[in-house]
Structure 1
Amino acid sequence: MRLFVIIVLLVQLTVAQNKQLLYGFNDIPQSLLLNPGAEVKNDWYFGIPLISHIHANAGTSEATVYDIFANNDINFNTKLQNAVYSMKSNDFVTINEQVDIFSGGFAFGNSFEKNEYISFGFYQETDIITYFPKDYAILVLEGNADNINRRYNAGHLKVSGEALSVFHVGYNKKVNKAFTFGVRGKLYSSVVNINSVKNSGYFVTTPGDNNRYKHIFDLNMSLRTSGLASLLEDDNSDLPNDIDTFKKRLFFGGNLGLGLDAGFTYRLTDQWTIDGSVADIGFIRHSKDVENYGVNGRFEYEGINPFFPSLDENETADDYWSNIEDEFSELFTVDTTNTKYTTWRPVKLNASVNYAFGKNRGRDCDCLTEDLEYQNAVGLQLYSIFRPKQPQVALTAYYYRRLFKGLQVKGTYTVDSYSFYNLGLGLSSQFAGVQFYLLADNLLQYKNLYDAQNVSLQIGFNYIFNKNEN
């Protein structure tokens, strides 16, 4: 039973997919995925297939792997209990990874000023969130013998997960020197979905009428799945078939949905800029390979009498415990249905205010060079993502610097519900049209990844033709 608690804690290892290093880093074309209304700096680009954008993050809001498994003088059971008791039912896990399969973009318009831009791509994403089921963990650790009349909240169990692919096309227009806007349409294809977020009820043990204890379950629990039942069938359990099924669903053979992104950039002055975006206003309709499970009602269990029976020569203790198991399993009626359902994508909001300074000047004179872009920028960015219980929010301060024409860096300091010392660093370099970028969060925690609360990494390769090239 302690293994259940350990697994739950080990899964509690990732945070929301905030990409504060990529947002506003407009030298990288993939920043348009976060704000389709960002200012575009290239005439056209294409991402190197499968490696143009790879993103993954991991972290924990409270206890870390090191807290539980550190080789110190503290007893393991004590460390496990401290970890469970320090966490709250609102602590959550979010696992997110994203891989671009292909991407590209090109500018168009009149020959003097190409002020419109089309971007497109296809990526695979996995997004999982689960809240820490604290009452379940405490029940496993302590048992119910010393917790008579205590109600354990069944609603602490909330989980939602999905693997999907996304095909997207975006339109960006620079209306004038001050205002740029953009929109992006998305077509989702869900590979697998698991959804159990509307759970409620309780479990309580009281003194029994016909036995020592009475166990009362008052439950309203549900689990909705799509794309999972067929993968678990015995006749489709071999790996080749599973891979073929995944491929078909990735390329629009799964449950489909639609989404929309929108964003803008507005220059208040030559140096002050504000921008904002909303992403993943969308839904997926689950109608294929759907299997749902539900338990609803009040159930009471007092065990088999007598509690310690005398066994005849043809009975064994295994028979006795098998009877208890059978009776307990028959207590709950699990309703299985194939009802279609709809899930909504987690909406993400970004907004920032930016100040640019330090225009490039020639070495031999005090005149401005033809490169009129500012070399530095500082700003504040606010991020939020809507989740089943409450939004996750983060605030980031950043500094951006163009070291020279082919090299830009960005440093960030982020405060969120996990940490007050998240320092990140991003680098983008370009040579002969080939761009390489690397963005990493929580640099101070890389010295001991087992004790890290959050580690995030983004990497990619693009080929870019910039507007200022002939």
Structure 2
Amino acid sequence: MRNLTMVLVLITWFSFGQNKQILYGFSEIPQALLLNPGGQIKNSGFIGVPLLSQIHANAGTSGMTVYDVFADNGIDFNVKLRKAIYNSKARDFATINEQIDIFSGGFAFGSLFEKNEYLSFGLYQEFDFIGYFPKDYAVLALEGNQNNINRVFDASHLSVSAEVISVFHVGYNKKVNEQFTYGVRGKIYSNIVNVNSTKNTGSFVTVQGNNNMYSHIFNLDLELRTSGLSSIRNSNSDAVFKDIKKRLLLGGDLGLGFDVGFTYQIDKQWYVDASLLDVGFISHKKDIENYSVKGTYEFEGINPFFSELETGQTADDYWSKIEDEFSDIFDADTTYNKFTTWRPVKLNASLNYAFGKKKEKTCNCIKEKKEFQNAVGTQLYAINRPKQPQAALTLYYYRRLFKGLSAKTTYTIDAYSFNNIGFGVSANLGPLNFYIMADNFLQYKNIYDAQSVSLQLGFNYILKKNED
């Protein structure tokens, strides 16, 4: 029974950050503005292909992988299970992030001679999940409490958050001069579903009892908050579809946020940029259902008095009494109080060096207006999470292969691994722009042992390219 419980925990854990290090700074792609509203722009307008302009999926685990537990390597499952649990830490986490553009677009405007301002807009749907490994819960489920007398199990190891939202956004970008560009983006968030339990505290301990062999002491302050879940759970499929569509189109609980960013050209070849994303909140007022267990409880079990007489206590009576006692102890209070969730703020910053101007074939000379064909740099990424911020450091190399085709390769160090190599390409076929990106190629030979995987692709119609 314990092993079955742990398998269910691990399946949930492996259901598989939001770091888009390949897309960041890839200015040929319009969606790069979502990562830095003050980034460089190389088109005078675009229209994203509906539902296809950006498809992003990212999943990862900083601790054990599926392969660690379920590998067919001749080692007993119980041995692998124990090793995986004992080697894990309570701060290990699993993440999933998915994002799809519903629609998007942008266009340049300004004076007649210099269109140095740019307006972009769109609506996208996003799913974000993070769950920390509940180490003490896993050990208790695996070993039970008989071998852990006087050990205090930490209830705060349970920490999980999941949400589905839609985001309507409008961004403004201005090129002040040849050195400095800045941008801002306003956002309206619409909640579809939110489930979070991130502020749990308390403990559980088994000690020698006075009236029975053992006494089990619970000191708990646990809470699960939900928004938008109850009506979906209790409705038929047609009603659920209509409700989700309404929330997707800004009909759910609303919130506000903003992004800000800039690019500064130090000289002809060196430049820096940075952005701060999703500074905002969502106020949850509709379809609320919260559950909490708070208080100190002591349980010493039920003394059985078995008898062969018909009036004696049966085994069924004994277990029914235990069930009633635990139901009283863990009877969760249900409340309908509104709550506010803060968006996971993200930071991007990079230092870049461009080099290698293209020579003219006719005169073996270089025109000053030609762009550099190569760039190298380093990018820092950080995101605020419930227990602690997560960070990543990326080194990259960018190359314009020829007109209409560019590529970027990255090497990233993060909480998932130290050998994440990624690659992305952007191609223009006439006015149609297509891009595709993926990372962690070294782990694709055994995807079940991969710490993280990421994929991005999209199609855009470029109204006019400002390319050489």
Q: After TM superposition, is the score higher than 0.5?
A: yes
Structure-1 residue corresponding to 2:98: 97
Matched, 1:363 2:361: yes
Counterpart residue identity of residue 109, structure 2: F
* Counterpart-to-counterpart distance in 2, 1:13 and 1:38: 35
Deviation at 1:6, TM superposition (A): 2.4
* Counterpart-to-counterpart distance in 1, 2:417 and 2:9: 21
Which one of 322, 325, 328 corresponds to residue 324 of structure 1?
322
Structure-1 residue corresponding to 2:307: 310
Gaps of 5+ in 1: none
Structure-1 residue corresponding to 2:411: 413
Counterpart residue identity of residue 306, structure 2: P
CA displacement 1:173-220 (0-9 Å, x = unmatched): 000000000000000000111121111010000111111111100011
Counterpart residue identity of residue 184, structure 1: R
* Counterpart-to-counterpart distance in 2, 1:231 and 1:13: 25
* Counterpart-to-counterpart distance in 2, 1:427 and 1:8: 38
The answer as to whether partners of 1:409 and 1:425 remain within 8 angstroms in 2 is: yes
Structure-1 residue corresponding to 2:295: 297
Deviation at 1:313, TM superposition (A): 3.8
Change (3 A) 1:15 1:37: farther
The answer as to whether partners of 2:59 and 2:94 remain within 8 angstroms in 1 is: no
Give the alignment of 1:205-244 within 5 angstroms: 205-233=206-234, 236=235, 238-244=236-242
Counterpart residue identity of residue 147, structure 1: N
CA displacement 1:277-335 (0-9 Å, x = unmatched): 000000000000111111111000111112x6336447653332122111111123422
DSSP 3-state at the match of 2:94: strand
CA displacement 1:20-76 (0-9 Å, x = unmatched): 000000110000000000011100001100011000012221221111111111100
Matched, 1:40 2:41: yes
DSSP 3-state at the match of 1:230: helix
Structure-1 residue corresponding to 2:59: 58
Counterpart residue identity of residue 186, structure 2: G
Structure-1 residue corresponding to 2:179: 178
Gaps of 5+ in 2: none
DSSP 3-state at the match of 1:71: coil
Q: How many residues end up aligned between the 2 structures?
A: 466
The answer as to whether partners of 2:47 and 2:463 remain within 8 angstroms in 1 is: no
* Counterpart-to-counterpart distance in 1, 2:413 and 2:182: 28
CA displacement 1:107-145 (0-9 Å, x = unmatched): 001122110000000000011111110000000000000
Structure-2 residue corresponding to 1:116: 117
Give the alignment of 1:1-40 within 5 angstroms: 1-13=2-14, 16-40=17-41
RMSD: 1.6
Which one of 443, 447, 450 corresponds to residue 449 of structure 1?
447
Deviation at 1:370, TM superposition (A): 7.5
My pick for the range that moved more, 57-66 or 124-133, is 57-66
DSSP 3-state at the match of 1:35: coil
Structure-2 residue corresponding to 1:276: 274
* Counterpart-to-counterpart distance in 1, 2:12 and 2:450: 14
My pick for the range that moved more, 289-298 or 27-36, is 289-298
The answer as to whether partners of 1:98 and 1:125 remain within 8 angstroms in 2 is: yes
Deviation at 1:78, TM superposition (A): 0.5
* Counterpart-to-counterpart distance in 2, 1:80 and 1:58: 22
Q: Give the structure-2-normalised TM-score.
A: 0.97
Counterpart residue identity of residue 113, structure 1: E
CA displacement 1:149-190 (0-9 Å, x = unmatched): 100000100111110000000000000000000000000000
* Counterpart-to-counterpart distance in 1, 2:343 and 2:337: 20
CA displacement 1:53-110 (0-9 Å, x = unmatched): 0000122212211111111111000011111111100011221100000000000011
DSSP 3-state at the match of 2:463: strand
Which one of 426, 431, 434 corresponds to residue 432 of structure 2?
434
* Counterpart-to-counterpart distance in 2, 1:348 and 1:266: 20
Percent identity between matched residues is: 63
DSSP 3-state at the match of 2:241: helix
CA displacement 1:244-287 (0-9 Å, x = unmatched): 11111111111100010000000000000000000000000000
The answer as to whether partners of 1:13 and 1:58 remain within 8 angstroms in 2 is: no
Deviation at 1:466, TM superposition (A): 3.0
The answer as to whether partners of 2:42 and 2:467 remain within 8 angstroms in 1 is: no
Structure-2 residue corresponding to 1:262: 260
Matched, 1:190 2:188: no
* Counterpart-to-counterpart distance in 1, 2:162 and 2:9: 15
Which one of 243, 246, 251 corresponds to residue 248 of structure 1?
246
Deviation at 1:351, TM superposition (A): 0.1
Change (3 A) 1:275 1:312: farther
Change (3 A) 1:175 1:206: same
DSSP 3-state at the match of 1:449: helix
CA displacement 1:380-425 (0-9 Å, x = unmatched): 0000000111100000000000001110000000001111100000
My pick for the range that moved more, 173-182 or 54-63, is 54-63
Q: Give the structure-1-normalised TM-score.
A: 0.96
The answer as to whether partners of 1:129 and 1:160 remain within 8 angstroms in 2 is: yes
Change (3 A) 1:467 1:406: closer
Counterpart residue identity of residue 261, structure 1: D
The answer as to whether partners of 1:277 and 1:349 remain within 8 angstroms in 2 is: yes
Give the alignment of 1:64-79 within 5 angstroms: 64-79=65-80
Counterpart residue identity of residue 298, structure 2: E
Deviation at 1:467, TM superposition (A): 4.2
Matched, 1:200 2:197: no
Give the alignment of 1:128-143 within 5 angstroms: 128-143=129-144
